[in-house]
Amino acid sequence: MAHFCKKLQADCRRGWMLALTAMLIVFAPAAFAQSAPTVTGTVTDQSGQPVIGATIIEQGTTNGATTGVDGSYSLKLRGGGILLT
């Protein structure tokens, strides 16, 4: 009977270790993933009027956005760079 209990404990321990390892493999990438920040704004001229069709580009990338009819834009950053207008 003692041998059976030791085997059962070892199997249980192995099962928990397997479950913890599986959880680590599944959830670890999500823990290290960083969401890319989104920059939003409005481009206006010197008189405060919206600038339609202005291009905003993330420096060092080809990632960019164009302003709409109200001068607003939304740009999801990819390279962590600096924005240029």
The model's pLDDT over 29-84, given as tens digits with 9 standing for 90+, comes to 655 556 778 889 999 999 999 999 999 998 888 899 999 999 999 998 887 555 55
User: How much is the pTM?
Assistant: 0.55
Burial 27-52 (b: 16+ CB within 10 A, else e): eeeeeeeeeeeeeeeebeeeeeeeee
Query: Is residue 84 a contact partner of residue 75, using CB atoms and an 8 Å limit?
Result: no
> Both tokens of residue 63?
């990632």
Q: Answer with the residue of higher pLDDT: 48 or 15.
A: 48
